[in-house]
Amino acid sequence: MWTQCWLDYKAANKDAYGKYFTTLYVDGFKKDDVISTASDELARASLSMFERSLDIDISAPNKGIIIKKTGQELLGEEGYHIYADGDIAYIEAGTPQAVIYGVFRFLTLIRTDAFNDKTDVTEIPSNPIRMLDHWDNMDGSIERGYSGNSFFFENNDIIINERTRDYARLIASIGINAVAINNVNVKEAATDLVNKRFIDKVAKLSDIFACYGVKLFLSLNYAMPIEYEPESADPLDEKVIAWWKNKMKEVYDVIPNLGGFLVKADSEGRPGPFTYGRTQADGANMLAEAIRPYGGLIIWRCFVYNCKQDWRDLKTDRARAGFDYFSSLDGQFADNVILQIKNGPMDFQVREPVSPLFGGMRKTNQMLEVQIAQEYTGHQIDVCYLIPWFKQILSFKTYMNGEDDTESTVANIISTKTGNVKIGGMVAVTNTGNDENWTGNDLAAANLYGFGRLAFNTDLDSEDIAREWIKLTFSHDKEVEDTISDILMSSWPAYEKYTAPLGIGWMVKPHDHYGPSVDGYEYDRWGTYHRADWQNIGVERGLDGTDFAGQYNSPNKEIYRDASKTPEELLLFFHKMPYKHVLSSGKTIIQHIYDTHFEGYEEAKRMRLESKKRFDMQVDNAHEWCDIVNSYFYRKCGIDDEKGRTIY
């Protein structure tokens, strides 16, 4: 079996809240699958929390819960209004989908003792799309999965069972409204998800998610027509265009509620438009026109770069690739195409700058892609609560409309508040699998919960999100809450301290990416270098180097080009610096490296003491990082640790 995570309804305060869980009246909504799902959730909660069946009324009661339809002009398609009036709790919304979110939020308020007769909560989602991407393969494995195997696929077949519904329920409870169930690297049996072999089962999956207001998406093999009569994937070839139009009709005839497709092309060996001398816009728009009659979306990943770089080449810079390939195409993408842009220009490192594509494209739909599967942040072995990091990314000022523009933050761009765009949102590469607790490490579920809540409301505070999750998952006990909150809130800074310093990134073991290997990728083809020698460390990305910094708008451009102005947490990402360079702390770079790695190791040990369990592997990992990184750089530069600690 499996847990219900934060939806494990425990006994609640009957004296305070029992009066609401007597009757349910639905006012203005016709009964459909989504309204039925919402009603069933309230009934389930009533039985679990109060040992009481919830009666369904055919007329307005004088106490209980009323789900009331209101105009969409007030709350939009997904917003809700929750308030109390005497012995009645009201959940107002304009659509059935919004009712789902309102019901789960109402239950959260009850379960965290935050509902009373003065409650008046209105929430309208910050982002139109709030999505989870699964990297699940049809053999049951998960690329970069750290919590068991897939609960969607096994032995090249689709799994549909009670866990499928529980997962839809779980993600709907945090406001997720879209999910892509298969790996972006579409291969072998996964290609057939849009063929007769699997399409009926995919339709059943889509219907289950639809009951919770969640749109199902599929990752699509862009090169699929090569295997059929066109024997080509050229986006301007009329035969290819016709093939895709027929394929989309075939799919939507069976799955009319499908949200659309996620596409990875021209990346890490995947064929794409570049194969035929075409642009990324040519490829995306061809699919967009084929899907347009059915209201579907094409989500096009911007993770496109040269993965066969010569490490001797000091001018080619992987960080530049996304901007170089996409920025000149601004305004050329169809209005039902969304570019999915990773938070940084590299690949989900513990620290990297925000991608310059945010602010570099003013007329193109964009989504922010983050990763809660902890590929580079501890594999869900090490605790690393990432929501504070995501908050920083969202608040980054892009200066898209000039140096006086403080409104074009990443949050405002992806939410469509800024720029001439139609739709946007946030997506996370998710961290779930078929482990009993869904996320491997119990505390890793905080990232899943936190992502959903933050995507729904980007103004929320990361610690408030953590504390809410703790109450729902563990206990209302203040000592328990404070202890777990302290661990979560200190975990990302601690992980950054004992891994790669000052924004340089990587230094991980090749392939699996857990644990230290300072030179693991230094002489490889992936463009992931630290360029350390006996005097200096870092990649020069200012005017004297690749000028990646020049891809940003002013004043960010000037800040990143100038080592004296670059934020120190990103200093080695943008500049090659002497080990003896003095930071604002008064420490040299090499002393900072020594100190932070010892400090990070001590932080890991402190977290183990606080939790009294399950941190042994993290402490061992932090110890390895500390000793290997410090020893590596001591041997490079020969500069002693000022504090005389043991470095090997």
Catalytic residue, from 317, 347, 382, 496: name it.
347
Gyration radius (Cα) of the chain, Å: 25
The reply to whether 57 belongs to the active site is: no
> What is the rounded distance in angstroms from the CA atom of residue 623 to the CA atom of residue 464?
31
Residue 461 CA: distances (Å) to CA of 7, 49, 103, 351: 21, 28, 22, 20
SS3 state at 49: helix
> What is the rounded distance in angstroms from the CA atom of residue 344 to the CA atom of residue 397?
14
Catalytic residue, from 268, 436, 461, 544: name it.
268
Candidates 567, 528, 530, 562; CA nearest to 543 is: 562
> What is the rounded distance in angstroms from the CA atom of residue 132 to the CA atom of residue 438?
14
Positive or negative, the CA dihedral 356, 417, 364, 344 is positive
CA angle at residue 99 from 96 to 105, to 5 degrees? 160
SS3 state at 264: coil
> What is the rounded distance in angstroms from the CA atom of residue 224 to the CA atom of residue 130?
28
> What is the rounded distance in angstroms from the CA atom of residue 606 to the CA atom of residue 610?
6
> What is the rounded distance in angstroms from the CA atom of residue 628 to the CA atom of residue 622?
10
> What is the rounded distance in angstroms from the CA atom of residue 394 to the CA atom of residue 456?
13
Candidates 593, 567, 609, 362; CA nearest to 498 is: 593
Catalytic residue, from 123, 317, 375, 468: name it.
375
The reply to whether 375 belongs to the active site is: yes
Q: Which three-class secondary structure string do you get for 194-210?
A: HCCCCHHHHHHHHHHHH
E strand or H helix at 39, and its extent?
Answer: helix 33-50
Residue 213 CA: distances (Å) to CA of 78, 144, 304, 316, 624: 10, 27, 32, 45, 45
Candidates 408, 228, 425; CA nearest to 338 is: 425
The reply to whether 524 belongs to the active site is: no
Exposure class string for 74-87: b at 16+ Cβ within 10 A, else e: ebeebbbbbbbeee
Candidates 515, 75, 183, 596; CA nearest to 83 is: 75
> Strand pairing partners for 516?
508
Is the distance from CB of 202 to CB of 218 less than 8 angstroms?
yes
Candidates 608, 601, 597, 607; CA nearest to 633 is: 597
Candidates 626, 623, 622, 610; CA nearest to 443 is: 610
Candidates 595, 599, 600; CA nearest to 641 is: 595
Is the distance from CB of 240 to CB of 225 less than 8 angstroms?
yes
Active-site annotation, residues: 268, 347, 375
